[in-house]
A and B are shown apart, each in its own frame.
Chain A
Amino acid sequence: MVVPIAWYLVLSAALFSLGVCGFLIKRNIITVFMSIELMLNGVNLAFIAFANRWHQVDGQIFVFFVMVVAAAEAAVGLAIIIAVFRSRNTLNVDQIDLMKL
């Protein structure tokens, strides 16, 4: 049986939306970070689905790029989080608001 592409896309959209919701709702900066990863993977799924559907390799290559970037982002992002935690003793994003007017 062939799974219709719409199912993949629905799953992809669901993952992405969950990521967005987590990003917006959560206060802990690590959870926010994880939500971003979730969004990236939701997008990855859509890429793969389309690559499979159209039998083109572009989408898969894109996914590799996304994974590489995500890995780099994880490394840098976690380092930043640790630096922030050391200087401010909190991981609550609502308290890290120095850049407002």
Chain B
Amino acid sequence: MRPNLYLWLLPLYPLAGFAINGTFGRRLPKSLVSLVALAFPAAALAQVLWIVEQVHKGLALPYLQRFATPWIAVTGFHANFSFLLDQLTLVMLLVVTGVGFVIHLYSVGYMAEEDGYWRFFSYMNLFLFFMLTLVLAANFLLLFVGWEGVGLVSYLLIGFYYKKDSAADAGKKAFIVNRVGDFGFLLAMFLLIAHFGSLSYHVIFSNIAAHPAMQGGVLTAIALLLLLGATGKSAQFPLYIWLPDAMEGPTPVSALIHAATMVTAGVYMIARAHVLFGRSPMALLTVAAVGTATAFFAATMGIVQTDIKRVLAYSTISQIGYMFLACGVAAYSMGIFHLMTHSFFKALLFLAAGSVIHALGGVQDMREMGGLRKKLPITFWSMTSAVFAISGLFPFAGFFSKDAILAATFQAGAGGKVLWFVGLVTAGLTSFYMFRLWYMTFFGEPRYKEPTGHHGSHGVHDSPWVMLVPLIILGVLSLVGGWVGWPAALGGGDWFGHFLDPVFGVRGAAVSVPANFTLERILSGVSMLVALLGWFAADWMYRRRPLPAGLGGAGRQPIYRLVWNKYWVDEIYGALVVGPVLALSRSLLQRGIEFGVIDGTNRAWTAIAGDASGGVRRMQSGNIRSYAGWLAAGSAALLLVVIYFAHLY
């Protein structure tokens, strides 16, 4: 007897929260808004935990729930509202509702002073609704609904401070760049319909599995188009440019949407479509290459940023690059593992950064921080946990996931060695820029000004408990979150990887190599060494040597300038894409079509009507004799006509 899991309820809780806060929130007291905003995600989290318990009790996965009424039914194609629960979904559900709830809790403290409190929480709940739809969907179409929905909420929340031009522009940029990726996703879906007649995961994947000869060709095309969609949503090269600007949104948004959940949707999608990607080595290689390149370049860009949130944004791009790399070498479960640990420590990094920003009254520039260790102890210690985790130091969460990815990459053939090397260098860079952030923020001489205003005369102090508790929770998770994937080489059981095995079938080719424990241990050691190297470099440059004012003479070196200007990628896009499109739109579409054809047609018709009625209007002069004249002329004309036709008959 399979229990009914009521999966369909799961997204509906946050939707209800959105509906209540979105419609009445303006009139409700703040405490009630917070209650609604927290209660519904909490309900979703509780149900997810209940589902976990059911699975633990032996519920068979995958579990499919479908509505009897089809959603779309036309000749030759139909799609259902159907939700799928398997191990992969379960991990995503836990991440989305767990981290999501914690961030909601934090937001209650962080957003307390902001205008539009109710608006913020209604969007956040709406985000959870779409994200849950995305991960629960059992077909690509429903996934796409969630996919677009989270994009919409991302746009709304990036532009939350819509009175700021930069925030509104950043929202538009995110939305437009994502359109490029979604265009690829749509084409991929059209190809899937054309070749499989369905968008259901089950139909497509079992169809592929039933035809071992099906290889490359159209599958490569589909996989590459899906990858384009994933690069847009997950901010990978070449579509990563929107994510740094997305930091204009409130910090909890950056934590939830632009670090922990939405931006990892691309990784989830690739992992979900692993059957498809598995049949196309070329597409997989592209995924790995894109991921590695993104990881490396984003890490180099992160090194020179001075805005604390922008460092984290580039770090997010870089870490998602690792997840792509994992998927590219068919180590999907490790990609998802890193997705999970990353959602812990990156959400924590953002929330801790938000706590610092909050304490300093809105300062985001790390050059105006420093010496905060004593003032913000809890923020400092939780941030430390996250920094150690992302740098990959044993035994923090990031060590296990990143190390697993690098080990799998190393064993993925000859090309894998190159990717591994770049990934290793990136790990060093990651460690460097994270410790740079750590030192610049918390160590050294205080460079900030005591904030005045609503914080009163207490000086800089730690945030309220409603913000600190989420930090502590995530801090603990950043430490222990990786232990579920303790590799066999280090005496663990890799429980996490085995948990996901049923989804990904036999582990990817890279991992099916007989476990070479010695090699893995050496690789782990190398990773640790590189991470420590990054730490010491940061220590040398930012602690022992006082920070040079305005970043010193380094600004004149060409490489520094190149990185500081983010490789001029925004400018290149501006010149190659935005400029021509704008010019074409202005000259042809605006002046030619809009003003010429559309406006011109309307103007011509109004002119004709105006002239004609202007002429006729003269007849109504008010002069009785002219009316009489027209009457006489009219009757005379009528008479003539009658006489003429009478003559004819």
Query: A residues near B, CB below 8 A?
Result: 20, 23-25, 27, 32, 93-94, 96-101
Across the interface, A94 reaches (CB within 8 A) one of B620, B623, B629, B632, namely B623
> Which of A27, A96, A101 sits near B620, CB closer than 8 Å?
A101
Verify if B454 is at the interface (C-beta below 8 Å from A): no
- A24→B635 CA distance, assembly (Å): 14
List B residues at the A interface (Cβ < 8 Å): 617, 620-625, 628-629, 632
25 pairs of residues in contact across A and B, judged by CB atoms under 8 Å:
A20-B632, A23-B628, A24-B625, A24-B628, A24-B629, A24-B632, A25-B625, A27-B625, A32-B624, A93-B623, A93-B624, A93-B625, A94-B623, A94-B624, A94-B625, A96-B624, A97-B621, A97-B622, A97-B623, A97-B624, A100-B620, A100-B621, A101-B617, A101-B620, A101-B622
Ranked nearest first, the 6 interchain pairs of A and B with the lowest CB-CB distance are A100-B622, A97-B622, A93-B624, A101-B620, A23-B628, A100-B621
User: Which B residues lie within 8 Å of A101 (CB)?
Assistant: 617, 620, 622
How many whole Å from B643's CB to the nearest CB in chain A? 14
Chain A residues, CB < 8 A from B628: 23-24
For A94, the closest partner residue in chain B by CB is B623
For the complex, give the distance between the alpha carbons of A93 and B626 in Å.
11
Q: Which residues on the B side are within 8 Å of A25 (C-beta)?
A: 625
Bound Cα distance from A70 to B141, whole angstroms: 82
B620 nearest CB neighbor, chain A only: A101
Contact partners of A27 in chain B: CB under 8 A? 625
User: Taking CB as reference atom, which chain B residue is nearest A98?
Assistant: B622
Cβ contacts under 8 Å, B623 to chain A: 93-94, 97, 100
19 additional contacts (CB under 8 A) given A24-B632, A94-B623: A20-B632, A23-B625, A23-B628, A23-B632, A24-B625, A24-B628, A25-B625, A27-B625, A32-B624, A93-B623, A93-B624, A97-B622, A97-B623, A97-B624, A100-B620, A100-B621, A100-B623, A101-B617, A101-B620
State in angstroms the CA–CA spacing of A100 and B622 once bound together. 4
B625 near A99 with CB under 8 A, answer no
What chain A residues lie within 8 Å of B625 (beta carbons)?
Answer: 23-25, 27, 93-94
- Specify which chain B residues have a CB less than 8 angstroms from the CB of A23 in the assembled complex: 625, 628, 632
Measured CA separation A70–B105 after assembly (Å)? 93
Chain A residues with CB under 8 A of B620: 100-101
B626 → chain A closest CB, angstroms: 9
Minimum CB–CB distance from B132 to chain A (whole Å) comes to: 65
In angstroms, Cα B620 to Cα A24, docked, is 16
Task: List A contacts of B621 (CB < 8 A).
Answer: 97, 100
Query: What residues of chain B lie closer than 8 Å to A98, measured between beta carbons?
Result: 622
With A and B bound together, what is the CA distance between A20 and B635 in angstroms?
12
Q: How far is the CA of A3 from the CA of B304 in the complex (A)?
A: 121
> A residues within 8 A CB of B632?
20, 23-24
Q: Which residues of the other chain, B, contact A24 by a CB distance below 8 angstroms?
A: 625, 628-629, 632
C-alpha spacing A25/B624, complex, angstroms: 11
A36 to B628 alpha-carbon distance, docked (Å): 11
Q: CB-nearest residue of chain B relative to A93? A: B624
Of all chain A residues, the one with the shortest Cβ separation from B629 is A24
CA of A27 to CA of B629, assembled, Å: 13
Contacting residues, chain A, for B629 (C-beta < 8 A): 24
Residues of B within 8 A of A99 (CB): 622
Q: Which residue of B lies closest to A97 (CB)?
A: B622
Least CB distance from A21 to B in Å reads 9
